[in-house]
A = this chain, B = another copy of it.
Amino acid sequence: MNIFYQPGIPDGILYLDGDESKHCVKVLRKKAGEVIRLTDGRGFFYDAVITKADPSQCSFEVTQQMPAPAKDHFIHIAISPTKNADRIEWFVEKATEVGVDRISLMDCKNTERSFIKTDRLNKVAISAMKQSVKAVLPQIEDHLLQFSEVIEDCQEKEKCIAFVDASNPLHLKEAARPGTSYCVLIGPEGDFSEEELKTAIEYDFRKVSLGPSRLRTETAGVVACHILNLINL
The complex places the Cα of A195 from the Cα of B212 at a distance, in Å, of: 39
Q: Which residues of the other chain, B, contact A69 by a CB distance below 8 angstroms? A: 212
Contact with B along A30-53 (1 / 0, CB 8 A): 000000000000000000000000
Q: Is B216 a contact of A233 with CB atoms below 8 Å?
A: no
Contact with B along A42-73 (1 / 0, CB 8 A): 00000000000000000000000000010000
Q: Which residues of the other chain, B, contact A163 by a CB distance below 8 angstroms? A: none
Q: Which residues of the other chain, B, contact A226 by a CB distance below 8 angstroms? A: 223, 226
Segment among A130-138, A142-150, A196-204 that sits at the interface with chain B: A130-138
Q: Is B230 a contact of A98 with CB atoms below 8 Å?
A: no
Contact with B along A189-233 (1 / 0, CB 8 A): 000000000000000000000011111100100110011011001
The complex places the Cα of A133 from the Cα of B164 at a distance, in Å, of: 15
Interface residue tally of chain A, by bracket? 20 to 34
- The answer to whether the Cβ of A171 comes within 8 Å of any Cβ in the partner chain is yes
The chain B residue with its CB closest to the CB of A226 is B226
- The answer to whether the Cβ of A74 comes within 8 Å of any Cβ in the partner chain is no
Q: Is A233 a contact of B211 with CB atoms below 8 Å?
A: yes
Binding site for B on A (CB under 8 A): 69, 90, 94, 97-99, 131-134, 171, 173, 211-216, 219, 222-223, 226-227, 229-230, 233
Given A223-B226, A227-B230, 13 additional A-B pairs, CB 8 A: A94-B219, A97-B216, A98-B211, A98-B223, A131-B214, A134-B213, A173-B233, A211-B229, A211-B230, A212-B233, A213-B229, A222-B222, A230-B230
A-B pairs with lowest CB-CB distance, top 3: A132-B214, A133-B214, A132-B213
